[in-house]
Structure 1
């Protein structure tokens, strides 16, 4: 049984976040979305990995990682900005949506060209990899439809986005199972990714229209574009840096060790990163209310942020400790003996999640405080550190060395680098207090 004191702590730290029913409902919808996609995605992903084997599965993930390196040029750092601007400037929401949409389309087309040319130069002899990169990079164009998802997020109505993405994800899963049944080659799975993004785009526009809203009301503004780019360039650079140190490990493994090792590493990362939906769901749902709270009650805003950091640490530690002990058994159970080497990688890589959870929430703090440039600084330094560590550790320790590099660079960029700037040091103190359970200990001591 929990004593009354324990009950009060739980209520104070967790239940207070659900006082706003709209926010709580939004969290539940997003949680259901990620949980459903995590379960189904893991089931189909395991099946695809077993069917393709480490080499072809590694080849497919090699292509996806290469495209993700440039994905920030397609997203243009607009997600948080679009939500923020609509919340603060509802009268001009159609101009914001229209301008953002055309920016995303242009960014997606640019990524297609950049990624294809780059892979031709980086791996000139690997024709199948060239085709995979070209096909999968087409998803970046259709992701312009995410602008509609941002509108739903700004209205705290993510359930519509959940319906669309889960329906399409289910259809895509069935398609992949059919491909496996008929023994189709790896390139068909690339086409499945492209079809999934296309279908999501079509249905999102349909749902937006069903709400009585019209895309033709959107407008493009050069002034608005300049404003968004001026506000978002640190986020674009930060996004490039994030993708650099989240994807460069697979690319370097592919170049140094080969495609089979990319496959082994990818299944470990797939299990490790599947939990990242938790901080994303919480941060995205609470973000609009934090913007308003900052303007109306700065003290309550700070306390709310601190509570959220505390929750992030508790959740991430529960996951990290559990997965450390279960990693080898889980990999063998899901993927079979061909992937057993991935178990050790998972037991190390999972600890990066503690700092990812803190980093996701801190990125929202940067936006609210209008300190986006620090997002770039910390991720740029983290990316450079990750490249250097991978260069040193992969030849010596193989794919395990890359997992070590990820944990070190993630902790540095998400937390410890914040200590070096006066403007960001309050964030560092909040993160450290969360990591040492300062607020929980303070409550218990009362």
Structure 2
């Protein structure tokens, strides 16, 4: 047993997964404790307005990233130096896309109360920082997630100190915008410092290369970004519909449930990210299927563990963090936990399809999901409100993972998914 544990801990991918999990634990811990304080301070209705702004910025973030995280991770895994140069070229493109994407939000937020506008600005700045954070991509792809952990710990500690000062001195709630920004800004600055110190980009003509790489990214990311935008729409459209067809108070409660139901997925994403380079380096369908089956089993195990823990302690957690006004979130969070598990498994098989250049298929698939989700969501939210919103997400994720994946011809997804449950695949498959 001791030898097995030592062997596991010495595996660089597992070690990197552990560091990534710690990084996300810290990030989610900070997010929950900072936003829960805001939620309790301003109440469900105002928090619903803030959640609405957050949802809009999430859509802009998906556009601004332009699929560059997938492109750069794959390039770094296969050709390190070229991948680093690619990273250096994406920041300007991301910034331009983000600025243009924010224009509609300005008109949408116009006329809202001052507190909602200020919080929206804080969320926007934090989102812009996340868009510019190319260093997390590099650290994850090169199995150096420990740097992300260190940076996030520092950012979280400082943000919590600022939040404590605001609460202790009973300052105006508007000052809570500061820790929302700091929890993103401080880690970004630290990771940038580490990257600039340790990574040297050898390039004799950086301006020409930057333009060349930017052009390459723009056109390469077109199919990915359509898919990413579609995914962002169908993952956030439920909140948008709830905010328009129901009440902002319902949206505030749903936002809490969505945070608690989806925040645990950082563990699954950490495992997936660490094993993605191995998947991209697979030399056969069999070995790719082995890797996806392994990652999927881990995700399923972790998902059910979290579900059990939440069912036992979730009620107390919500009362402690958010207060009695948000207690309905306890009833709908289990639905969103299962939906999150299905979504994470969907990401595994999306990477599996990327290996076989399934970018266009995923683009068309997500467009279908968006159309279907809009129709189904409008019906469910209109008649069942917050419960309809929750089941809408669950149904969409199930169909996306199963039925719509089975039409992909370049790889047998059904066989790959059966592999999770022990079905054997011959090596020539």
Question: Do they fold alike, i.e. is TM over 0.5?
Answer: yes
Residues 324, 347 of structure 1: 8 Å contact kept? yes
1:115 is the counterpart of 2:101: no
Match of 1:418 in 2: 405
Given the alignment, which residue of 276, 287, 294 partners 1:287? 276
Match of 1:259 in 2: 248
- CA, structure 1 residues 216+251, in 2 after alignment: closer, same or farther (shift >3 Å)? farther
1:428 is the counterpart of 2:409: no
SS at match of 2:263: helix
String of CA shifts for 1:157-193, please: whole Å, max 9, x gaps.
Answer: 1111221122112222222333333444554333433
Taking the aligned partners of 2:35 and 2:263, their CA distance within structure 1 comes to 12
- CA, structure 1 residues 349+417, in 2 after alignment: closer, same or farther (shift >3 Å)? same
1:160 is the counterpart of 2:160: no
Structure 1 residue 127: deviation in Å? Answer: 5.8
String of CA shifts for 1:129-150, please: whole Å, max 9, x gaps.
Answer: 4444344223343234421222
Match of 1:105 in 2: 95
Match of 2:210 in 1: 221
Residues 60, 102 of structure 2: 8 Å contact kept? no
Residues 316, 357 of structure 1: 8 Å contact kept? no
Given the alignment, which residue of 15, 23, 31 partners 1:33? 23
- CA, structure 1 residues 327+226, in 2 after alignment: closer, same or farther (shift >3 Å)? same
- CA, structure 1 residues 214+171, in 2 after alignment: closer, same or farther (shift >3 Å)? farther
Match of 1:189 in 2: 176
1:59 is the counterpart of 2:49: yes
Residues 44, 252 of structure 2: 8 Å contact kept? yes
- CA, structure 1 residues 328+433, in 2 after alignment: closer, same or farther (shift >3 Å)? farther
String of CA shifts for 1:305-346, please: whole Å, max 9, x gaps.
Answer: 222222222322333355456654543454332112222221
- CA, structure 1 residues 169+391, in 2 after alignment: closer, same or farther (shift >3 Å)? same
Residues 145, 204 of structure 1: 8 Å contact kept? no
Taking the aligned partners of 2:423 and 2:307, their CA distance within structure 1 comes to 21
String of CA shifts for 1:189-238, please: whole Å, max 9, x gaps.
Answer: 33433343333332222111232536998654333223222322222112
Structure 1 residue 67: deviation in Å? Answer: 1.2
Taking the aligned partners of 1:235 and 1:17, their CA distance within structure 2 comes to 37
Residues 59, 263 of structure 1: 8 Å contact kept? yes
413-422 vs 68-77, greater mean Cα deviation: 413-422
Match of 2:71 in 1: 81
Q: TM-score with structure 1 length normalisation?
A: 0.84
Residues 306, 430 of structure 1: 8 Å contact kept? yes
Given the alignment, which residue of 232, 239, 242 partners 2:221? 232
Structure 1 residue 283: deviation in Å? Answer: 0.7
Residues 70, 115 of structure 1: 8 Å contact kept? no
- Count of aligned pairs: 421
Residues 115, 137 of structure 1: 8 Å contact kept? no
Taking the aligned partners of 1:301 and 1:133, their CA distance within structure 2 comes to 42
CA-based RMSD of the aligned residues comes to 3.0
